[in-house]
Structure 1
Amino acid sequence: MARDRRPSSLHQLRRYVACHHVVRGWHSGEHLARTPPARGCARHLTQESIVMRVLFTGGGTGGHLYPTLSLARALLRADGEAGLCTAPRAPDDVQAPSSDAPDEVLFIGARGKVDQKLLERDGIPHVTLGSSPLRGSSVVETVGGLSRNAVATAQAMRIVSRFRPDVVVASGGYASAPAVIASAWLRAAGLLRNTKIVLLEPNVIPGHANRRLARFADEVWGGYDNTGTSHHFREKFRLIGIPVRPELVTPLSQADARRSLGLQPDGFLVLVFGGSQGARTLNVATSGMVAHRRLPAHWQILHISGERDFEWMTAERRAEPNDNRYSLLPYVDDMALAYRAADLAVCRSGASTLAELAAVGLPAIFVPYPHAADNHQRANADHFVDHGAALIMQDELLTSDSLYWMLMDTAETSKLQGLQTALRKLSHPQALAVMVERIARAKVGSLGSAA
């Protein structure tokens, strides 16, 4: 990683892309002054504007949202340096930008507090539609969902036709269906002749939406070789990796990261977390373990409970003797600090969590959420376990006692080092740079060709 926390290859790639694509709003002389071209590439520069627009769609869960957010940030111009897209103005309403808007990205997602909060935080223009899961638990739910998705697809048709993206990147989940279907129909009708459609599959087992939408895709990107064996993807699959935020890899020392979180700088630290909403099973087991088990004197527990359970857990802790080795927080704004501070994690096995842990090299005990669609969290965890990169505990077997003994067994230095070594082999640190490069290929019509 470069010291500015962006992959060095991405920096070089931006220079390459800048040579071949004049982004609207830049005079070629200004462009050349900012980014000296490689030998021979000046002849490719013209005064003619070439628009680069990327439409992102997906969401509903962090696993479907975080990878596309990471890619959107990489595509936007960073620190004034030339990128494929310029930072856009946030729209005043849900209307898509007009055809004479600056080069930009747009995100189409489902209505929901988590998705909208993250998009607003990153300043990414977004439109939320009333789409629903593709499968209902009853006939009434299914029919209602079809009706809502039909309306959402009609709305997406209007938005996509106005935005006219060069590339559509869909990260799965029911929220991605309207925009992908709309883009495919408009392309088939000749209204988006050069638009490319890419699916990003963050899980080991392809999700229901991506399986259905694969027929429309030019490429499918994933992070695990097992994903490419799906007959839905076939020759379209590219093993690239799952993009994560470059800032997750912090230059801070472990001791400094712990101090930033108000923790003791030394000792063995276990990080327990359950995603943005927390995980009740993990919270109950961890709370019971801390209350009823004598932990080794050099251990610390950083427990991120989520907002939902924080109140009752705080009340329960008040009845226990004060222990400065146990820190209970509802959330942590900067997970890079939490990852850097920890020696071992106990967590769910959602797609984004796995990609982030692999990127930072933090060993983990996975407790897959048993009710996840297609049991995909179990498949994710099994993939890491099969590669010797993690341990697994079934949700129904997790208790304060079972957690305690598993932590005691795993805390050996040699075992942690073995997990960490295997974990890094599953990391794809250049995923962002490769994805940006392949998106750039859309301008010369080679996206979808052999890697």
Structure 2
Amino acid sequence: MSRTWALIAGGGTAGHVLPGISIAREVTDRGAPQHAVHFVGSARGVETRLVAEAGFALTALPGRGLQRGFSPSSMAANATATAELARAFVQALRVLRRRKPAVVVGLGGYASVAVGVAAALLRVPLVITEQNAVPGLANRLLGRLAAGAATAFEDTDLRRAAWTGNPVRTEVLEADRSVGRSAARAALGVNEECRLVAVFGGSLGARTINEAIAGALDLWRDRRDLHVRHIAGHRDYADLSGRMSAEPPRAINYDLVAYEDDMATVYAAADLVVSRAGATTVAELAAVGMPAVLVPLPGAPGDHQTANARRLEAAGGAVLVRDAELDATRLVAEVDDLLEDPDRLDSMAGAARSLARPEAAGAVVDLMESCARYPSPRHPSPDRSEAAG
């Protein structure tokens, strides 16, 4: 078996997995071979697809996260989840003993707990990454065991915290809303005369946002100058598609898709985003300098989406609307106010960009290298290879 330098654990959602992939790519960009990075995730999480597509190997652990609440169904599910966590911990121990990594990185989520505790038991240095303004349960637990904590926000309450920023995909970092705008709009079929509003709420979707947009289309029915790209999510797409097909024709340009693999093109083309306030979304909005209307997910652990959104709002890069206050009328009012004020949009774009940390992946890997048991492997440089020959 090839030697593993960094074992990256966690996931469950794209918000946890995508920063991990950015970290892995930074390790290999510094000269380490692909096999020097190995992922451990949940068999039920999106990492089973995303990590493979990125070209890295993954070990999938059994089980699922704990449910919040004390209903009979929640307690029964948590009893099963606890047993599965024990199985996952045993498997994590086996993986660590076999691969002998120099450092373990915890991304948050269910799998990071099993692997993080196993790393502490085997005395493998643990670095945790916290993507949100409010730490999640997994990182609050593992923070006591970690040699370092890489945080997306400056004042995150974790021990040994280092403010690195939240790593963002290279393709998003390279999205150019000025030079690349025309090509991106052509790729999406957006007329140059239209203002493009991109709407999304995660891989499953956000029902409140989806319903508000469905109603807004009636209010915008005659708007030929407006184009809405609605990324509805897998859960609501079929229902929305059926409803939209039954509607009479509208003048407004409207695209309904279930999921978007090429968010970099969407960011380059859009004038405004309406979305939830997950950690990866907020980091990407900052990276590309994108004005936004943010609707935080109610009931998120620690209300972390509201905390994320408030950072962007306080900087002047976003408008925050509570989920309970969003309907078609409020959405139309907020979007129209912004689109009618180009100077404000420009100011919001600059304010959002002021929070960006484009070197976040590099800063996280610097922290990993400072904590690791041994240096990261490097391919020999061309000069050394020639000298050896």
Aligned partner (choices 134, 143, 148) of residue 214 of structure 1: 143
Q: Distance in 1 between matches of 2:293 and 2:4?
A: 42
Matching residue within 37, 42, 51 for 1:110: 42
SS in 2 for 1:326: strand
Counterparts of 1:66 and 1:295, CA distance in 2: 39
Q: CA contact under 8 A between 2:277 and 2:305: conserved in structure 1?
A: yes
Q: Is the 8 A contact 2:7 2:38 kept in 1?
A: yes
Q: How do 1:313-352 and structure 2 match up within 5 A?
A: 313-318=240-245, 319-323=247-251, 325-352=253-280
CA distance in 1, matches of 2:372, 2:81: 36
Say which of 311, 325, 329 aligns to 1:383.
Answer: 311
**Greater Rg over alpha carbons, structure:** 1
Task: Answer yes or no: is 1:398 the counterpart of 2:334.
Answer: no
Give yes or no for the alignment of 1:175 onto 2:99.
no
Segments of 5+ residues of structure 1 without an aligned counterpart are 1-23, 26-50, 78-82, 89-103, 188-194
Tell whether 2:240 aligns with 1:288.
no
CA distance in 1, matches of 2:46, 2:252: 31
Which residue is equivalent to 1:159?
A: 95
Residue from 9, 14, 33 that aligns with 1:86:
33
Q: Which amino acid aligns with 1:53?
A: W
Partner of 2:387: none
Which structure has more RCO (C-alpha within 8 Å, separation ≥ 6)?
2
Q: Which runs of 5+ in 2 are unaligned?
A: 377-389
Q: Distance in 2 between matches of 1:302 and 1:383?
A: 26
**Cα displacement (A) at 1:311:** 2.1
Q: Give the partner amino acid of 2:112.
A: S
Letter of the 2:241 counterpart? T
**Matched letter for residue 152 of structure 1:** A
Query: Which one of the candidate residues 121, 124, 135 is aligned to 1:185?
Result: 121
Kept in 1, the 8 Å contact 2:223–2:252? The answer is no
Distance 2:222 2:96 in 1: 56
1:10-409 aligned at under 5 Å gives the runs: 53-77=5-29, 83-88=30-35, 104-112=36-44, 114-134=46-66, 136-138=68-70, 139-187=75-123, 195-227=124-156, 230=157, 233-234=158-159, 236-248=160-172, 249-251=174-176, 253-294=180-221, 296-318=223-245, 319-323=247-251, 325-409=253-337
RMSD: 2.2
Letter in 2 for 1:126: L
What is the CA–CA distance in structure 1 between the aligned matches of 2:82 and 2:373, rounded to whole Å?
37
User: Which amino acid in the other structure matches residue 238 of structure 2?
Assistant: E
Q: Residue 205 of structure 1: CA displacement?
A: 0.3
Q: Count matched residues.
A: 367
CA contact (8 A) 1:221 1:237 kept: yes
Deviates more, 1:418-427 or 1:436-445: 436-445
The AA in structure 1 aligned to 2:214 is S
User: Would the alpha carbon gap of residues 160 and 433 (structure 1) be closer, same or farther in structure 2, given more than 3 Å must change?
Assistant: same
The 1:165–1:446 alpha-carbon spacing in structure 2 relative to 1, beyond 3 Å, is closer
Q: Is the 8 A contact 1:369 1:378 kept in 2?
A: yes
Whole-angstrom CA distance in 1 between matches of 2:232 and 2:314: 28
* Residue identity matched to 1:201: E
* Structure 1 contact 254–265 (Cα < 8 Å) conserved: no
- In the aligned structure 2, how far is the partner of 1:424 from the partner of 1:270? 19
2:349 to 420, 434, 437: 420
How far the C-alpha of 1:222 sits from its partner, in A, is 0.7
Amino acid at match of 1:298: D
TM-score after normalising by structure 1? 0.77
